[in-house]
A and B are shown apart, each in its own frame.
Chain A
Amino acid sequence: MSAGAAEMPPVVRRPRGSQDVRARATRERIGRVVAPIVVGLAVLGVWQFLVSVVGVSDYLLPSPAAIAEEFVAFAPAILAAAGVTGFNALVGLVVGTVLGILLAWAAAQWRAIDAMAAPVVAALAVVPIVALAPVLNTMFGADSQFGRQAIAAIAAFVPVFVNTLRGLRQAAPVHRELMRVYAASGTQTFRTVTLPTAVPFLLTGIRIASSLAVISALVAEYFGGPRGGLGSFISTSAASSAYARAWAYVVAAIALGLLFMLATALLERIVLRHRPAA
């Protein structure tokens, strides 16, 4: 085996002196913050360069500046649309979470429910739920946002159910046996051991569900139903060749997704603040 250039870098860092290592740790901390920012700015720069210097057409890629302009110009409309979509997503998230917790609890109690629900939920996880949107619009009436909320709820339900059920089963055998030694009742065991163990899993489920709820609520708007949400404005703007405006709505959709993600991540942080990091 030759000592070629292909030799992989040493696995173990090679500290030659203490300053060296501390410097490396500092460099890593800085790198982890600076590198993504640099990448983001570089993408923006290349984007603007493509549009203003290379001259990529508007329909292919509007310039960041043009999108920002549209965003400011249509701010009230965009905010209102984000409100509609955000509310749908929120209702879906809450309903889906409640259903997910209840069914997970039932599945943890009764094996039959688990056996029946597991394959159906596994299927739901890979099936395009949004396909139900047009039918739901008929079921609830064309003027109702309910179809979208239902889609968001089903989408949110899946990760909440899966993670909560897993969490309910995570109680360490040593803890369960301890409760048995104490002759604790079923409710006591559930309250003191099973539930606290499950909470972090539930919160992970909610965090995943929040993103899915936003995505589903938005996408459901492409399948018809009343106007007013971000999704419908993205399609109308694109259809009327107002590409920069369409992108401005897309930016709002991304911001909405981030808002939901941050809110649920914060919830997770607050609830688990007294627990050691896993």
Chain B
Amino acid sequence: MSTTSVAPAPPGTEGQDAPRAAARRRSGGRGRRTAAAWGWGALGILVLVVVWEGYKALAPEDGVLIGDLRVLPRTTDLAMPHVWEMLGRLGEPVTRAEGSPLLWAAVALAALTTLGIAAAGWLVGLVVGVGFALIMQRWRLAEWGLKPWILVSQAVPLIAFAPVVKSWGSRVEIGSWEWPDWLSVAVIASYLAFFPIAVGALAGLQSPARRDVELFRTYAAGYWSTLLKLRLPAAVPYLLPALRLGAANAVVGAIVAEVSTGLQGGIGRLLIQFAGQASGDPAKAWGPIFGAIVLGLVAAGSVALLGLILKNYRRGEAA
């Protein structure tokens, strides 16, 4: 998988003596370790904040230049607002106009809108991706013909299509049905989610050991019962990282597509809009950035939650 940063976990080996991983995982001290991990993570973020503020305090106003090339940013309040200003700004109204909502509320609403579109795209990508994987697993000719294309597609900037897909909006009409703009965005999100899911699902469906497949053959099990009782459960450890990557891709795709199609209402539009007001209100531009970060984390976290539900299917994974 080429755009994955984390390869699918290969299921562990069986037949070893002594109860393994699962028992250890359940043993005490788990809560403490989780807490420690969160603590260290928070410390890591704190370090980033300290670096930001430290650089702002110590570096020259115009940044660090080598010749004409600025290699480190300007440190003015305009370019680099204080972290507390960014956070504080979230609690203030979006504009000075009467009845304007607070910034965080506006960002949250936009993020939810984008999340909805990304989720729709992710679902379509999931269905189509798993469908393709099933076809490729079933017929080797299909795998030979399609897999190289899917692998290459992962490595090329397919997202470049985003502005082109915009042209579909409002010009496609089927009967009384008009192509809504958000659908263009969802289409881009879905095809970005599709590729890693198809690749991961195929790897998972092909993952059962020959021994297991032969066992099902000795049971005279047909294609469907082998699929349902062996291949799909065995695919779960491969599918989960692919789904997480697909979710992250869908979010990026949705945001980029919102920006390039100019769709209103989502976080992508807010990013551009508030960045345009940054000269007067630099901290405001950071609001949608935080929103986008939370959005990505929520999308990936939802998949992690799915992993918890399916935890019995992950017992084969090496701990």
A interface, CB within 8 angstroms of B: 1, 3-4, 6-8, 10-12, 28, 31-32, 35-36, 38-40, 57, 59-60, 112, 115-120, 123, 125-128, 130-132, 134-141, 144, 146, 158-159, 162-163, 205, 207-208, 210-212, 214-215, 218-219, 222-224, 230-231, 234-235, 237-239, 241, 243, 246-247, 249-250, 253-254, 256-258, 260-261
With a cutoff of 8 Å between Cβ atoms, the chain B residues found around residue A134 in the complex are 271-272, 274-275, 278, 285
Residues on B close to A: CB < 8 A?
Answer: 2-6, 36-38, 40-41, 43-45, 47-48, 63, 69-71, 73-74, 78-80, 140-141, 144-149, 152, 154-164, 166-168, 171-172, 210, 213-214, 216-217, 219-224, 226, 244, 247-248, 251-252, 255-256, 259-260, 267, 271-272, 274-275, 278-279, 282, 285-286, 288-289, 292-293, 295-297, 299-300
Is A130 in contact with B252, judged by CB distance below 8 angstroms?
yes
Expressed in whole angstroms, the minimum distance between the Cβ of B151 and any Cβ of chain A is 10
How many inter-chain contacts with C-beta < 8 Å in the A-B complex? Answer: 234
* Identity of the chain A residue whose Cβ is nearest the Cβ of B42 in the assembled complex: A119
Chain A neighbourhood of B288, CB < 8 A: 131
- Residue of B whose beta carbon sits closest to that of A249: B160
**A118 to B40 Cα, complex, angstroms:** 9
Instruction: Evaluate contact between A119 and B296: CB separation under 8 angstroms.
Output: no
User: When the two chains form their complex, are residues A126 and B48 in contact, meaning their CB atoms are under 8 A apart?
Assistant: no
Q: Evaluate contact between A140 and B70: CB separation under 8 angstroms.
A: yes
Option from A130, A235, A254, A256 in Cβ contact (under 8 Å) with B163 = A235
A1 touches B220 (CB 8 A): yes
Given that A116-B47, A119-B37, A126-B299 are known contacts, is A35 also in contact with B164, CB under 8 Å in the complex?
no
Q: Which chain B positions have C-beta within 8 A of A218?
A: 157, 159-160
CB of A235 to closest CB in B, whole Å: 4
Q: Please, which residues of chain A bring their CB within 8 A of the CB of B36?
A: 115
Known A-B contacts A158-B5, A254-B157, A258-B155; A31 and B163 likewise in contact (beta carbons under 8 Å): no
Q: How far is the CA of A11 from the CA of B210 in the complex (A)?
A: 8
Task: Give complex CA distance A257, B155 in Å.
Answer: 6
Beta-carbon nearest neighbor of A85 in chain B: B157
Top 6 nearest A-B pairs (CB, nearest first) are A134-B275, A119-B41, A116-B44, A257-B156, A115-B40, A35-B145
How distant is B171 from chain A, measured CB to nearest CB, in Å?
A: 6
Contact B297 A138 (CB under 8 A): no
Determine whether the beta carbon of A223 is less than 8 Å from that of B271: yes
Complex Cα spacing A141 to B73, Å: 8
Docked-complex contact B168 and A60, CB < 8 angstroms: yes
Q: Which residues of A contact B146 (CB under 8 A)?
A: 36, 39
Is chain B's interface secondary structure helix, strand, loop, or mixed overall?
helix
CB atoms of A125 and B271 under 8 A apart: no
| B271: min CB distance to chain A, Å | 6
Decide: B275 and A8 in contact? CB cutoff 8 A: no
Query: Mind listing 14 A-B residue pairs with CB under 8 Å?
Result: A6-B222, A8-B221, A10-B217, A59-B168, A115-B36, A115-B40, A117-B44, A118-B44, A128-B251, A131-B271, A131-B293, A139-B74, A211-B154, A249-B160
Q: Are A222 and B256 in contact (CB under 8 A)?
A: yes
Contacts of B260 in A (CB 8 A): 222, 235
A222 touches B155 (CB 8 A): no
User: Bound complex: CA of A60 vs CA of B251, how far in Å?
Assistant: 24
